[in-house]
Each structure stands twice: as structure tokens, then as C-alpha cells.
């Protein structure tokens, strides 16, 4: 007789957010506590078996996510109120938004068609934003930075903004949005959307645009840096705390169930 608790293997998308300040990145690694191992430990406690989470992407130490997605498989019925039970067990820095059944072959990483990051900066010292904004000196030329940022649009090789020795098959990405938005006299956000991102890419882009905004790089020099495919030509990576993943887009066919 088949156990009525057993059902066909099901795949689920889990939507969640985290403050990356206290984590050594999103995905498991030998040294330091990560978001993935913290979440998998909570799943194991409640489900009484190991569950492997596959994240939609990787974030570095100190980087945040307001809308990360991961998938997992489970061959039993999920307990009622699983999201609420996980939230009760997880630290305040991680919040589960939803757990949704999806098609068996849906993939959190490979099926994503666009990702959007925000990089937040402020010129004001503020204890309430110091984990989520990077503090910069006044005087950045946002017009010049926006003109330069337009050269990021389109499909091209972004090796100049990729961490060295990263094991990727290609450094080609398609960027569909790249612009600075000034919220007020003290705060601004850099918004960038692409089909995929390379390791450290957004922080390297922002750090290089800072050089444009400070008058140390011209628009032409910024274009030359992109064309060079040389990380040594680009600026220093901007600090981690200002960066947050804010949206991941999937085709309707992937998430419908």
C-alpha cells in the first residue's frame, strides 16, 4: 500500500529577502556563515530532512536581497504554514515571503530572464541607513554619470567589470536599464537591469561611474574601459552595503502551475 503522505516529487519556488550585513555571501562556502546554510538548517529542522536550495544568483558578503528566489524539491506534502514556521526559526535578517509550487523543471537560476539591482548612496551620516547605503562625499556629477551609464546598454562583453579568475563560460551580458535616480539632495539610487550579472559586476560598474562623477574619467575613457575587457582599467569596486537585488523576472510559463 502506498503511503498517503508520499506524493510525486514537487518543485517549489521560495521568495525571500535578507540583510546581508552579517553573512559571508548568499551561497554555502567553507568559511563563514551564509544565507544558504542558515536557510537549509531551518528547513531541515522543520521538515526533518535535508533540503538543497538552488539560488537564482549569488551575492557577495555584505550585499542584500529584497527579492531573492530559490527552488527546492520535496517528495512529501509540505506542512501547513511552512513559511510562517520558517520565519519563526530564521534570524531577523532573513524573511520568507512565499513558497509556491512550480513546474517540475522550473529553475530559479537558469529560467530567470532579467534581474534588477539597486545601488543606494547617501551623503548624510545616518545610523538608520548605514547598512543599506554607501556614504559618499558630495559633488558627484549625476548628469555625467548618466551619460556614461548609457554606454552600458545593449549586449556586449563586460569582462572589464568582472572579478578576475571567475569561472564563467562567457562574460557577455545584455543590459536593458542603467541610470542614476536622485531621490533628494542627500540620496540617489543606481538602477541596473540585465539578463545576467557577472561576479562583482554591479559594484565594479558603480565604482567606475564614481570616477566619472568625480571628474577623474571622461565619457570617452569610460567607453574605452568597456571596450578594453580589462578589469585593471576599471575603477575600484564600490562597497558592498549599498547593493541590493530588488527584482527577478521569470516567464509566466515557468511560474504558472
Tens place of pLDDT per residue across the chain (257 aa): 344 444 577 999 999 999 999 999 898 777 789 999 999 999 999 999 999 999 999 999 999 999 999 999 999 899 999 999 999 999 999 999 999 999 999 999 999 999 999 999 999 999 999 999 999 998 999 999 999 999 999 999 999 999 876 778 899 999 999 999 999 999 999 999 999 999 999 999 999 999 999 999 999 999 999 999 999 999 999 999 999 999 999 998 877 65
CA dihedral 57→96→72→56, nearest 10 degrees, is -10
Cα–Cα distance, 81 to 124 (Å, whole number): 41
Three-point CA angle 208, 211, 213, nearest 5°: 115
Count other C-beta atoms under 10 Å from residue 129's C-beta. 18
Please give the model's pTM, rounded to 2 decimal places.
Answer: 0.93
What angle, 0 to 180 degrees and rounded to 10, lies between the N-to-C axes of helices 142-149 and 201-213? 130
Which is the catalytic residue, given 60, 105, 195, 230? 60
Cα–Cα distance, 206 to 220 (Å, whole number): 17
Domains detected in the chain: 6-110 (3.30.70.580), 114-247 (3.30.70.660)
SS3 content of the chain, % helix, strand, coil (to 5): 30, 30, 40
Residue 60: active-site member = yes
Cα–Cα distance, 75 to 107 (Å, whole number): 17
pLDDT of residue 7: 52
pLDDT of residue 256: 63
Amino acid at each position: 500500500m502506498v503511503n498517503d503522505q508520499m506524493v510525486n516529487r514537487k518543485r517549489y519556488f521560495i521568495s525571500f529577502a535578507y540583510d546581508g550585513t552579517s553573512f559571508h555571501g548568499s551561497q554555502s562556502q567553507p568559511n563563514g556563515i551564509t544565507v544558504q546554510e542558515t536557510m537549509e538548517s531551518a528547513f531541515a529542522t522543520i521538515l526533518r530532512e535535508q533540503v538543497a536550495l538552488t539560488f537564482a544568483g549569488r551575492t557577495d558578503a555584505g550585499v542584500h536581497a529584497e527579492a531573492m528566489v530559490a527552488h527546492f524539491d520535496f517528495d512529501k506534502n509540505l506542512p501547513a504554514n511552512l513559511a510562517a514556521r520558517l520565519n519563526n526559526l530564521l534570524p531577523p535578517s532573513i524573511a520568507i515571503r512565499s513558497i509556491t509550487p512550480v513546474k517540475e523543471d522550473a529553475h530559479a537560476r537558469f529560467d530567470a530572464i532579467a534581474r534588477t539591482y539597486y545601488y543606494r548612496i547617501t551623503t548624510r551620516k545616518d545610523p538608520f541607513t548605514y547598512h543599506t547605503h554607501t556614504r559618499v562625499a558630495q559633488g558627484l556629477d549625476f548628469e555625467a554619470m548618466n551619460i556614461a551609464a548609457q554606454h552600458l546598454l545593449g549586449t556586449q562583453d563586460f569582462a572589464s567589470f568582472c572579478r578576475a579568475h571567475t569561472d564563467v563560460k562567457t562574460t557577455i551580458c545584455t543590459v536593458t536599464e542603467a541610470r542614476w535616480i536622485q531621490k533628494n539632495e542627500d540620496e540617489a539610487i543606481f538602477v541596473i537591469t540585465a539578463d545576467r550579472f557577472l561576479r562583482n559586476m554591479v559594484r565594479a560598474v558603480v565604482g567606475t561611474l564614481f570616477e566619472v562623477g568625480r571628474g577623474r574619467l571622461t565619457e570617452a575613457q569610460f567607453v574605452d574601459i568597456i571596450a578594453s575587457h580589462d578589469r585593471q582599467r576599471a575603477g575600484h569596486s564600490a562597497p558592498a552595503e549599498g547593493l541590493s537585488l530588488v527584482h527577478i523576472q521569470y516567464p509566466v510559463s515557468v511560474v504558472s502551475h
